[in-house]
Amino acid sequence: MLAYIIRRVVQSALVLLIVGLAAFSMFRFVGDPIENMLGQERTTVDIERLRDQLGLDEPFIVQYVKFLEGAVQGNFGVSYRQGRPVSDILVERAPATLELATVSCVLAIAFGIAFGVFTAIRRDGFLANFIMSTSLIGVSLPTFLIGILLIYIFSVELGWLPSFGRGETVQIGNWSTGFLTASGLKALILPSITLGLYQMTLIMRLVRSEMLEVLRQDYIRFARARGLKNRTINFRHALKNTMVPVITVIGLQLGSIIAFAIITETVFQWPGVGLLFINAVQFVDIPVMAAYLMLISVMFVAINLIVDILYFFIDPRLRVDRAGGH
Amino acid sequence: MKTTSALTLAAVLLATTAPLNAETLRWARSGDALTLDPHAQNEGPTHTIRHQMYEPLIIRDISGAFEAALATDWAPKADDPNIWVFNLREGVTFHDGAAFTAEDVVFSFERAKQPNSDMKELIGSITEVRAVGDFSVEIVTDGPNPILPSNLTNLFIMDKDWTEANNTVDVQDFEGGELTFATTNVNGTGPYVLQSREPDVKTVMVRNDAYWGIDQFPMEVTEIIYTPIQNAATRVAAMLSGEIDFLQDMPVQDLERVNAVDGLIVKQAPQNRVIFFGMNQGADDLESDNIDGANPLADVRVRQAMSMAINRDAIRQVVMRGQSEPAGMIAPPFVNGWTAEMDAESSTDVEAAKALLAEAGYADGFSIRLDCPNDRYVNDEGICQAAVGMLGQIGITVNLDAKPKAQHFPLISGGQTDFYMLGWGVPTYDSEYVFNFLVHSRESEIGTWNATGFSDADLDLMIQSLASNTDLEARNADIATIWRTVQDEQLYIPIHHQVLNWGMSERVGIEVDPEDQPKIKYFTMN
């Protein structure tokens, strides 16, 4: 058991190292940050001085090792574009992304489950069919198009909601929150719908098919035969059993919501880490790109690790396998 | 009836003389200032934000002419051409109430010459700045410098005491990630005071009611909210939905759409930037062409033929949707040395181009790679694509290689390109700046953007002598001679002058600044 966990942790660390190495070697193809950093009056001397100062003339393996050394100590270097420590910038930007991801997640789960249950129970109803077919549009349209469409309808044409930014924020310690102001809450609506739409459709379809599966089971038929109310059958008996696989998927989707926030944040000028990353790519801000990619891979690796370990506890067959039972 | 109109008139008069209403200007563009330290970075959007809060000795007005800011007048010293005397404005205070004196000017120039400063190149010729009295300074240069004032329009003045009290005498080490007090705090003499700043998110400035020019300029905007919006579609949407009053970096394809909306207008002016192609004429053989052992671009007839093949009007109409002015020389009209005749020296004549090419021995043409940026200038890649077709008409096969600016510009500074696109602005409004970077032979400190391999020792000497030639007539004659050579040699192929578009609500009154540096103190609000 302990050996299994240790092995998984070591594997995860190895994955991180490889992801970092791949990312770092790719940075060389993004371009040269020097030209972006110096004004047009720069001289050849300036270029050489800066390249030397940033260590950009060293082989990328050396740069990577230096990055790892710093990263282990929580030091991700200095942003080439903003001239500030990357860790400061990340701390500053994280609340925006986390709040957006949380709201999107809550929306996706609430509406996903509600619509899923509804379309399963009323599988032939007009409204259920309507929801099912509109959800197809939600899945097939790219995120940026949905974002622009929402901006066009709700900001430009109707003028109800802001087209960009976070609105007013309130600072609580290191955390800036948009939850406490009216403009902050309004600003959350469009981006969270854009970001959560795909996940919502996914959850809805999953809930619907699981629910249909469960509703066909014998114990539901017996429950009906016993004369239980439909509401009790659907929500107490059926939904509960539907939720087991759904919860697993939701857990995994949380990671991708944070990672996919890049596009939504760019469309809505949402000042989170995704927008930071896009800015960094355009400016060849290597320290920011490296830190962001490492953070995202740490997140995914951690989620997978936790899920694996949880399976180990939940599913006894895994343990039997390890003991060489078969 | 009469009393009401009299009352209205009184109200209008009151409103115009002393704007009491709070007027907020919501302003957006694609990027944010990199830092607030006045001397740490030399970059357009960064200067633009600083200009609202800090002031240099001299600024430029919308026509490009000098306007007195912290200096009231300036002239070379009568008996010594190496010295410029600047008389300073009296009664000016910094945002914290401290008085502005010559001491602050001396201090700021010394600060701007520090190694970490990005402004040091612009004032490299200055050897000493000394105060002569409380409101007069002498700037000593290492030889006469007739265009010194041109280099000072973005050199901001800080308060010596404030800077010392807050331990921020050293310029921020931007590349080293240093954060200093001056990076995030501002104490200038300018018309607006910093209220809050979140880098890349929002910067708020409020009117400085103690500003020396409060009665001289409209100063109708009481609060500025500056938000960078990176995505072009979102930027336009924010303008259309009325969340923004003033927009820079308008996408060309949305101009008509914005103009068509009630209450919104787009104003245009030629920008201080020429787009052109450079050609490697100095190499013996080119890597990216199909001719062995010779360099077709070394022949001036080939370069002329290429220029003649390019239909600038077609590029203007099709690629730029009318948003450009065809160019014949690589300097914008307001630059000293520009002439209408030279700017018109670019006509399209495909037959003559073919004949010239044949005369040069390339009747069958040749093939070459064109390096082009795709995220730097307005429709840069589209211009290159158009050029590919036009050069194809005279038998030159062009392989287009378009990439992001972060990959394109290193090719130019590393001399790894034979045929490339570049754009150039002239912040000093004098041709010397163009020659220093684009015409002078490439050396470590000069000619740094000249990737053509062109080198002419006599011309180099003439360019160097411009810096200290105080006889303006003779100097202008030299400038004309140098331009003549550049034109006759077809050193570059000029394409067009970029046009600048500012989108604004009809409430906002302002004309477009060719430097793309709006100064909000000139704005009116209805």
As a whole number, mean pLDDT of residues B253-267 equals: 91
Neighbour tally for A160: CB within 10 Å? 12
Give chain A positions within 8 Å (CB) of B228: 269
B417: left (phi over 0), alpha (psi -120 to 50) or beta: beta
Alpha helices in chain A (DSSP H): 2-30, 33-37, 44-54, 60-72, 86-121, 126-140, 143-150, 182-215, 218-225, 230-231, 239-267, 273-283, 286-314, 316-322
d(CA A208, CA A120): 5
ipTM exceeding 0.90, yes/no: no
pLDDT at B14 over 90: no
Contact B175 A78 (CB under 8 A): yes
Of the segments A142-146, A307-311, B353-357, which one has the largest average pLDDT value?
B353-357
Contact B406 A279 (CB under 8 A): no
Q: How far is B101 from chain A (nearest CA, A)?
A: 30
Strand, helix or coil at B280? coil
Q: Does B361 touch chain A (CB under 8 A)?
A: no
Its sign, for the CA torsion A231, A232, A237, A241, is positive
A231-245, B375-389, B437-451 — which is least confidently predicted? Answer: A231-245
Under 8 Å between Cβ of B325 and B272: no
Looking at residue B20, its pLDDT comes to 52
Interface probe with A: pick from B234, B273, B403, B441, most Cβ of A within 10 Å: B234
- pTM equals 0.84
pLDDT digits (tens, 9 = 90+) for B438-448: 999 998 888 98
Q: Does A279 touch chain B (CB under 8 A)?
A: yes
Q: Does A156 touch chain B (CB under 8 A)?
A: yes
Under 8 Å between Cβ of B407 and A34: no
Looking at residue B4, its pLDDT comes to 46
Q: Please report which helix (H) or strand (E) contains residue B127, including its range.
A: strand B126-131
pLDDT digits (tens, 9 = 90+) for A175-223: 888 888 999 999 999 999 999 998 899 889 888 988 888 888 888 888 8
The neighbouring-strand residues paired with A78 are: A85
Q: Does B175 touch chain A (CB under 8 A)?
A: yes
Its sign, for the CA torsion B210, B213, B218, B224, is negative
Does residue A223 or residue B478 have the better pLDDT? B478
pLDDT band at B280 (very low <50, low <70, confident <90, very high): very high
d(CA B420, CA B453): 13
Pairing of strands B367-373, B397-403: parallel
**What fold, for A94-281?**
MetI-like fold (1.10.3720)
Alpha helices in B76-157 (DSSP H): 102-112
Looking at residue A232, its pLDDT comes to 81
Its sign, for the CA torsion A313, A316, A321, A324, is positive
The percent of residues in chain A predicted with pLDDT above 70, rounded, is 96
Q: Give Dmax (Cα) for chain B.
A: 90
Phi, psi of B451 (to 5 degrees): -100, 20
pLDDT at B3 over 50: no
Give chain A positions within 8 Å (CB) of B231: 266-267, 269
Contact A45 B407 (CB under 8 A): no
Distances (CA, A) of A296 to A16, A19, B276: 10, 10, 42
Looking at residue B471, its pLDDT comes to 87
Strand, helix or coil at B204? strand
Nearest CB to B406; choose among A39, A162, A284: A284
Interface probe with B: pick from A28, A32, A51, A265, most Cβ of B within 10 Å: A32
d(CA B520, CA B513): 11
pLDDT at B2 over 80: no
- Residue B171 is given by DSSP the state P
pLDDT digits (tens, 9 = 90+) for A240-283: 777 777 777 777 777 888 888 999 999 999 999 999 999 898 88
d(CA B241, CA B26): 12
DSSP string, A196-214: HHHHHHHHHHHHHHHHHHH
Pairing of strands B24-29, B223-228: parallel
* CA A73 distance to own-chain centroid: 25
As a whole number, mean pLDDT of residues A76-82 equals: 86
Query: What structural domains and CATH numbers belong to chain B?
Result: 24-245+507-525 (3.40.190.10), 270-498 (3.10.105.10)
The neighbouring-strand residues paired with B372 are: B402
Under 8 Å between Cβ of B315 and B473: no
pLDDT at B9 over 50: no
Domains of chain A, by residue range, sit at 94-281
pLDDT at B15 over 60: no
Under 8 Å between Cβ of A128 and A122: yes
Under 8 Å between Cβ of A173 and A86: no
The neighbouring-strand residues paired with B226 are: B27, B203
Average pLDDT value for chain B? 91
Residue B354: CB partners within 8 Å, gap ≥ 6? B305, B394, B395
Phi, psi of B194 (to 5 degrees): -65, 130
Q: Does B228 touch chain A (CB under 8 A)?
A: yes
As a whole number, mean pLDDT of residues B279-293 equals: 89
Q: Does B124 touch chain A (CB under 8 A)?
A: no
The percent of residues in chain B predicted with pLDDT above 90, rounded, is 70
pLDDT band at A294 (very low <50, low <70, confident <90, very high): confident
Residue whose pair of structure tokens reads 């308008």 in the numeric block: B250
Phi, psi of B29 (to 5 degrees): -150, -175
Q: Write down the number of H helices and E strands in chain A.
A: 14, 2
Looking at residue A318, its pLDDT comes to 60
What tokens appear for B62 in the block? 């919308």
What tokens appear for B165 in the block? 């009290």
d(CA B238, CA B234): 6
